[in-house]
Amino acid sequence: MTVDLVWLFNPFVIFGVALLVGLLLFAWGRALAPPFKPEGHKREMYTGGEAPSKQTVRPGYQFFHIALFFTVFHVAALVLVTAPGAEASWLALAYLGLLALAVYALLGGR
């Protein structure tokens, strides 16, 4: 007599077991944690129990340009690394040309 355990590999069974393990870990952590006492600044958003400080400097968008250049150049590097070999190298050169135009436009045509 053989036992057929193919149902164990059903995605729904695996998801249910993973969900059950996650709920058990959550319940165990909740049982170990001390009770919550709402005191001081603990109920305020994003303070972590500390008094929030006054914001003297307004946030700017200077970092946006850095993040945009980072994204453009890293996507370009990914495309160039995964480009096909010698038979389509002109596509990589065309992409580099378009990238140069995009960087020129992002710099404001300076």
Query: 18-47, pLDDT tens digit by residue?
Result: 999 999 999 999 999 988 787 766 666 665
pLDDT score, position 105: 83
Four-residue CA torsion sign, 21, 22, 23, 24: positive
For the stretch 49-69, pLDDT in tens is 566 677 777 767 677 777 888
Assess contact for 75 and 102: CB atoms under 8 A.
no
pLDDT score, position 13: 92
pLDDT score, position 19: 97
Task: In whole angstroms, give the CA distance from residue 17 to residue 78.
Answer: 37
